[in-house]
Amino acid sequence: MPDNLQPQNRPDPDLISPRILPHQAAAAKALRRARSRMMVCFWTLPLYMLAIWMLLTNRRETDAIMFVYMGLWAGFALDMARRRCPLCKKQFYVKHVLMNLQARRCVHCGFDSHSVAEAANRDGVTQ
């Protein structure tokens, strides 16, 4: 695709105003935080499985740790799914039914939360 024919729903990052508004910076930080929490749950799954296996081999109850871990997972997933893009106001990580855990950009308009949050930290934009 030639450079001058950008898709309409994906803005060219060079054409977006370099000025970062405070609500965009705050939304970008919240989006990054929600994704980080969910990724922590995802990457600690092997530790959770190891803990369950150790409890089962010692004939101990696993109900409490299972409910806590499932509750954390569900809470963080709901938090991530409810986050909205500050530009298009649609769900940032959800395009249809499934959530995209790897998305760094809005799945609808292409707003990049990581570059905005990094620029806000660099420029000293506060909430």
Give the 3-state secondary structure of residue 106: coil
CB count in 10 Å sphere of residue 117: 22
* Closest to 13 measured CA to CA, from 98, 99, 95, 115: 115
- What does the pLDDT look like over 66-125, one tens digit per residue? 999 999 999 999 999 999 988 888 999 998 888 888 888 888 888 888 777 666 566 655
Take residue 14 and report the two structure tokens written for it: 């060079």
**pLDDT for the residue 67:** 94
pLDDT of amino acid 21: 75
Q: Are 120 and 29 in contact (CB under 8 A)?
A: yes
Per-residue pLDDT, averaged over 7-34, amounts to: 70
pLDDT at 76: 93
Q: What residue spans define the domains of the chain?
A: 22-123
CB-based contact 31:92 (threshold 8 Å)? yes
Cα within 13 Å of Cα(92), Cβ side: 30
Among the listed residues 105, 110, 112, the one whose alpha carbon sits nearest the alpha carbon of residue 9:
110
* Mean pLDDT within 43-49: 93
Looking at residue 127, what is its pLDDT?
47
